[in-house]
Structure 1
Amino acid sequence: TFVVVSGHKGSGKSALVKSAIKDKKHTLYIDCEKIANARNQSEMTKSLAKQVGYFPIFTWVSSMSGLMDTLLAATTGQKANLSTSPDSKMKDVLETVAIALRETIPSEKEARLTTEEEQKTMLEKLRNLVLNYGHEKREVKEKENEKSDEDKLDHTSIPVVVIDNFMYRETSKNSLLWDELSEWAALLIENSIAHVVFVSSNASVVKTLGKALHGRTFSSITLSDAPPEMAMSFIRKQLGEDVDDPHFPEIISAIGGRLTELEVLVQKMKMHMDAQAAFEDIITRNLIEIRKYGFGDSSNDNNKIEWTPIQFWTIVKLLAEKKSINYDELKWDNIFKGDDTPLREMERAELITVTHKDGRPNSIKPGKPIHYTVFRRLLSDTVFAASLEIESNMNLKKQSEESIAKLEDTIEKLSNINQPSRPPREIEARIRYLLTKVDSLQKSIEENDIAIKKAKEIVSEGWTDDEN
């Protein structure tokens, strides 16, 4: 069995899986966060080895082998290939673990059969003789028992491997780890060695694992936010008392069932901050994060975004007014032009959530429930909103002008087709059609100019001097 448990951070994925496997006899739990935080490949291999019980790891042997390789190459001019790379060592560790997992199955079966044989009483043996089963019936019964044994083995004896925090960080250093683990998981599944459960907060985990499994189907479980009543119950349990605030249900509704935000609210209220002030503080923190990561308002070059600010602004405006957006409709909007790469990158950055239906993207929602409130706050910042409206309309105007230029070029070429003194009727029909498109685009440009002018007026009127 191959299962992917996904969901946003704080959705309880790890706790759910741990609860499901707590009574299993043979389990292996790998926490990728600890491995991915290692400084280099050698440290990553040591961390992995420690978690799976692989011993010993002689890192000094690899260093000595590398030194000997260098010395021999310097003296003889040829490499001895004595050293092993960190990725090959990681592969060795995982292959050894696969062999060990495989060996647990026959030993488990033997132990189970021995226990069942000892549990058979003399009374059961006498009963079989008294009932006088025929020879053929006994053969059928034996075959059924053998089949039953295999079924029991499948359910009770196959080990369970849990790979938690998979794709915790997508960096060049960690890419090897994700590739090795996914290929190793495919090996375990294809050879019926173990059940494998991947736990991840990364939106692209299914796509990455799909490559390693070569089209093999797998089960996917996605955890969502808790409903409002459960969120209220969590707050009461954490605070140890009811909150005497008539607006508190509205605050919980705005925050939603996201555990990370609820925990922040609890912490602030335990510090004797009232619910409304704590809520406003959470809103402000999320506003700063959205400006930094959603619109690229950061001086750090590492925070380079894979979408344009106006693309994200389009989503912000839509989600400030409604609960979800039609995925395909937005994809074919003039801002995205059929390219959903920016949408996938926004989902990976947890700015939006893409819900699927019948195996394909269906709708877009905010990355967190509280983002509904944050998006509305962004729209209420008139100067900020007007600035982005200027940028959006200038972009659309530029697209229209480029399209008109291409149409005018085509019309000119078609107009030069003479037979003998004027173009054929079919060409004239084509020219008339193109002229209607030019007229439509020209009207769009005029609308863009009006919108830009209004937005600039808002920017000018909304500005105040800091000294005042």
Structure 2
Amino acid sequence: MILLKSTRSPWGGRGTQLAVPFRKQYFYTANGFRPRPIAPVVLSNRRRVTTEAGDDDTGHIETKQNEGILFFDNVFPLKLQWLTRIPLLNAERALTSSLSIVNHPDLALADPSSIIKRALPETLPLTVTQVLPRLREGGAFVKFTHDAGINPTELESTLKAYLEEKPIKPWFNPLRRVRAFLVQGKPWIEDLYRIPSSRVKVEFLPTSPENSAAELTQETLYSLFRRYGKISEIAPEPSDSKVAPRYAYIDYSRMRFATVAKNCMHGYVVPAKEGGGKTGTLLKLSYESKMKPHWIRDWLAGHPRIVIPVVVALLTALSVAVFDPIRTFFIKMHVTHGLKLEDYAIYRWVKSQLSRGYDIIRLRKQKGEDENLQIIWEDRKEAINQLQTWMMETADTFIVVQGPRGAGKKELVMDQALKNRPNKLVIDCKKIQEARGDSATIAAAAAEVGYKPVFSWMNSISSMIDLAAMGTIGTKTGFSETLETQLGKIWGNTTTALKQIALDHRKKDEKDAQMSDDEWLEAHPEYRPVVVIDNFLHKNNEGSAGMVYDKLGDWAAALTTQNIAHVIFLTTDVSFSKSLSKALPDRVFRQITLSDCTPEVAKRLVIQHLNSESDEEAAADGEEKITPAQQRSDLDELDSVIQVLGGRLTDLEFLARRIKTGESPGSAVRQIIEQSASEILKMYLLDVDVSSRKWTPQQAWLLIKQLASNETLRYNELLLNDLFKDGEVVLQALEQAELIAITSKNGRPYSIKPGRPVYQAAFEYLTDDDVLKARLDLAILTQLIGMENKNVEKYENELRTLAELPGAPSELKPRIKWCLEKAMGSHMKIEKYEAQSGALKKVLMDKF
């Protein structure tokens, strides 16, 4: 018989109708439950509206006589505590509604009412009056009523046996079945945000203020709590602890075991017969976190030797994975000019149209300059052809173009030999070397190749981190990177970008498709990019320049040996082979030496420079006019002037500009000579910042004075001079400073010449100044007198030592004679130098 009632059901929601069968009344016998021989009674199906805070938000479920509470476990997932923190959300109702939607009748049920309906057999003599879900703890309380003759413990046993025979496994936890336990104590049903844990803290409280509580032993606790699940450990409060009330920790192997124990045993009074003392002991249970607060932070702070290297490794991996591809892309764009508008035809066309009307003067000037330089390129056609031929060879192309400053090395390579090469990378060592500090050097090197983003400022911060780590853990973390490491990264990324640029020309359907990348690069030198390293060995004797140039040399050697790119060095240093031989000790690199123009070419260059503008004007008017060179009557002086000035391009252009302003060639050359003499006086002879020089003004003046009378000096003869005791170092420094030029023969230096052709005339100009000559000669004589005085003192000390020997052995007489002769020779030199000094002092006193 089925009775339909329109009332709130403990299984359904508000206003639902549920068909509730009449249940038979049972009583318990020795053979189990048997039907009671009376008429059936309709049980109450009313249900009060409750929340997770208990009846009327009191935190408890009120029970009366013949009422009990069951706790069903595994009703909800345990990892949903965060739902309770969402504002304006009834987590209990929302969860049960959503789970019931996905529930299938043939599968394990998910919402609490469905699970409890299946868990309670029809033959069980009880009536459910209230269901209270516990979302945080993954279970639900079920309040029921029973007959007075039925023991709730027997109901629990029968229910457990039924659930073991017919297990219910929810879909969210198919490996664990639903369990049911009788609530022994008075559970505290709170809705505080307290996360369940596998550890339960059991506090021992008295049943009333005037009574005392007993501290339960581990055996007693085990017998009370083992029924709810496997216990890992029972840890009582230390005996010397002063904390009250006394307590113990119970660690379960699973969190669900702890939630069941806490809900079933909270508020349980342990009687005296079970070890609860004379008046019993009240148990208060709460969850206890097994991990200390901030344990992650404390562990990280307590293990810097492990944490800091791991953090460095992670940051390095992040930098490589994220930033390196970006940097490689920007380097490719820098080499291929992919992000420059000037390389797009439409932009160039628009620019030419806009500039045609008002930029005629600038265009004419540019055209005139191109024609002037064309004379130089015709004279150096052989060098240009040689460079272009080397670019097409499959062998290593490690090329050095050496020449004095102003010889047009960069223009010859970039504007002529590599004019039609699409992918060129120019690295100016001057910008890198003149940067001050490691961060500025890194930024300058990155800018030369297009390497970005670059965090050069991080180098200083990482150095401070390393310094702090030294004081903390006693060792460096490796977080900071040296200048050498940073430059290595920049060149490494550039290598990757250059290889990708070269391989971009490779096609899958070509005949060499079966080749490896290295073989293909070796077979196709025409597709390799060209790296031009300008101003190589600029200021090589300063700071960390040696390391920078060594890294550049090693990188360039790797590019050529791996057939990734052609490399061309542009340098003014004649000793470049010493630096580059370190990078390629077993290879012979190719070399082109640029010298000054011949007098014939120099004269043509000056005349062409004078006629360039008039040629443009004549072409515009369509008339043939007399050139400025034909109008000048003083150009006959050019032959003699160029003999004095030489064939240096910068000096010739300076001469042509001065002649164009109206000066005669002779006057212009005199101005250039005087200007050069002033530069020599300031840079090499005056005592300004002598500490940074490797030469003394006396040594520089001696060279100037001798070169003024002789265009070429013998290298080894000069080293015999008393002023050049450390001669080779001084001469190399003066060559680097471009005061002199040292020529070699058969691999050894053999002659010394002026650093620039015009310097020969400037040296003669300086020596014609009697006052300057007297002053600097007096400085030389003063230094020589000091040297000879030291020699005399040395010989006198030796003679004094010999005189103190007993007996005056005859074997020492030759040595005594030699010392006397040397002392006499030095003394005679001193007298000679002093006489010359007197004459020079007289000159300084008589002349201005």
Shift of 1:383: 1.0
Instruction: Give 2:668's aligned residue.
Output: 278
Taking the aligned partners of 1:31 and 1:61, their CA distance within structure 2 comes to 19
Shift of 1:292: 0.7
Q: 2:837 aligns with which of 436, 452, 460?
A: 452
Shift of 1:169: 4.6
Normalising by structure 1, report the TM-score. 0.78
What amino acid does structure 2 have at the position aligned with 1:166? Answer: F
Instruction: Give 1:295's aligned residue.
Output: 685
Shift of 1:238: 0.3
Instruction: Give 1:143's aligned residue.
Output: none
Provide, for residues 12-56 of structure 1, a one-character-per-residue CA deviation record: whole Å limited to 9, x for no partner.
Answer: 1112222223344654333334555667655655554455454xx
Instruction: Give 1:440's aligned residue.
Output: 825
Higher Rg: 2
Instruction: Give 1:423's aligned residue.
Output: 809
Identity %: 32
Q: 1:314 aligns with which of 702, 714, 735?
A: 702
Q: Which is worse superposed, 337-346 or 432-441?
A: 432-441
Q: 1:256 aligns with which of 629, 646, 662?
A: 646
1:221-240 map, 5 Å:
221-240=592-611
Name the CA shift for 1:88/1:398 in 2 (closer, same or farther; >3 Å): closer
Shift of 1:68: 13
Instruction: Give 1:13's aligned residue.
Output: 409
Name the CA shift for 1:346/1:83 in 2 (closer, same or farther; >3 Å): closer
Provide, for residues 207-242 of structure 1, a one-character-per-residue CA deviation record: whole Å limited to 9, x for no partner.
Answer: 333344457543333322112111111100101143
SS at match of 1:97: helix
Instruction: Give 2:734's aligned residue.
Output: 346
1:17-56 map, 5 Å:
17-18=413-414, 19-24=416-421, 27-36=424-433, 45=442, 48-49=445-446, 51-54=448-451
Instruction: Give 1:123's aligned residue.
Output: none
SS at match of 1:320: helix
RMSD, aligned CA: 3.7
Q: 2:791 aligns with which of 391, 399, 403?
A: 403
SS at match of 2:742: strand
SS at match of 1:198: strand
What amino acid does structure 1 have at the position aligned with 2:743? Answer: T
Name the CA shift for 1:409/1:109 in 2 (closer, same or farther; >3 Å): same
Taking the aligned partners of 2:459 and 2:824, their CA distance within structure 1 comes to 75
Taking the aligned partners of 2:485 and 2:401, their CA distance within structure 1 comes to 29
Instruction: Give 2:399's aligned residue.
Output: 3
Shift of 1:371: 1.0
SS at match of 1:8: coil
Contact 2:685–2:700 (8 Å) recurs in 1: yes
Contact 2:466–2:479 (8 Å) recurs in 1: no
What is the aligned residue count?
Answer: 424
What amino acid does structure 1 have at the position aligned with 2:809? Answer: P
Instruction: Give 1:360's aligned residue.
Output: 748
What amino acid does structure 2 have at the position aligned with 1:199? Answer: L
SS at match of 1:210: helix
Contact 2:799–2:819 (8 Å) recurs in 1: yes
Taking the aligned partners of 1:309 and 1:103, their CA distance within structure 2 comes to 53
Contact 1:401–1:445 (8 Å) recurs in 2: yes
Contact 1:351–1:367 (8 Å) recurs in 2: yes
Contact 1:69–1:82 (8 Å) recurs in 2: no
Instruction: Give 2:558's aligned residue.
Output: 187
What amino acid does structure 2 have at the position aligned with 1:279? Answer: V
Name the CA shift for 1:438/1:236 in 2 (closer, same or farther; >3 Å): same
Name the CA shift for 1:112/1:454 in 2 (closer, same or farther; >3 Å): farther
Taking the aligned partners of 1:260 and 1:309, their CA distance within structure 2 comes to 27
Name the CA shift for 1:2/1:440 in 2 (closer, same or farther; >3 Å): same
Instruction: Give 2:287's aligned residue.
Output: none
Q: Which is worse superposed, 27-36 or 403-412?
A: 27-36
Taking the aligned partners of 1:314 and 1:325, their CA distance within structure 2 comes to 12
Contact 2:429–2:536 (8 Å) recurs in 1: yes
1:198 aligns with 2:587: no
Contact 2:775–2:840 (8 Å) recurs in 1: yes
Contact 1:109–1:157 (8 Å) recurs in 2: no
SS at match of 1:355: strand
Normalising by structure 2, report the TM-score. 0.45
Taking the aligned partners of 1:151 and 1:60, their CA distance within structure 2 comes to 33
SS at match of 2:693: coil
Name the CA shift for 1:196/1:452 in 2 (closer, same or farther; >3 Å): same
Shift of 1:448: 0.9
Instruction: Give 1:95's aligned residue.
Output: 492
Taking the aligned partners of 1:369 and 1:93, their CA distance within structure 2 comes to 40
Name the CA shift for 1:64/1:395 in 2 (closer, same or farther; >3 Å): closer
SS at match of 2:738: coil
SS at match of 1:311: helix
Name the CA shift for 1:311/1:85 in 2 (closer, same or farther; >3 Å): closer
Contact 1:69–1:80 (8 Å) recurs in 2: no
Shift of 1:115: 8.9
* Greater helix fraction, Structure 1 or Structure 2: 1
- In the alignment, structure 2 segments of 5+ residues that lack a partner are 1-396, 514-518, 612-627
Taking the aligned partners of 2:431 and 2:796, their CA distance within structure 1 comes to 60
Q: 2:530 aligns with which of 160, 171, 174?
A: 160
Contact 1:268–1:278 (8 Å) recurs in 2: yes
SS at match of 1:10: coil
Shift of 1:366: 1.0
Shift of 1:272: 2.0
Instruction: Give 2:214's aligned residue.
Output: none
SS at match of 2:840: helix
What amino acid does structure 1 have at the position aligned with 2:428? Answer: D
Instruction: Give 1:219's aligned residue.
Output: 590
Higher relative contact order (CA 8 A, sep 6+): 1
SS at match of 2:427: strand
Shift of 1:151: 11
Taking the aligned partners of 2:802 and 2:492, their CA distance within structure 1 comes to 67
Taking the aligned partners of 2:536 and 2:660, their CA distance within structure 1 comes to 33
Q: Which is worse superposed, 101-110 or 195-204?
A: 101-110
SS at match of 2:727: coil
What amino acid does structure 1 have at the position aligned with 2:535? Answer: N
Instruction: Give 1:335's aligned residue.
Output: 723
Contact 1:390–1:455 (8 Å) recurs in 2: yes
Taking the aligned partners of 1:414 and 1:379, their CA distance within structure 2 comes to 47
Name the CA shift for 1:436/1:60 in 2 (closer, same or farther; >3 Å): closer
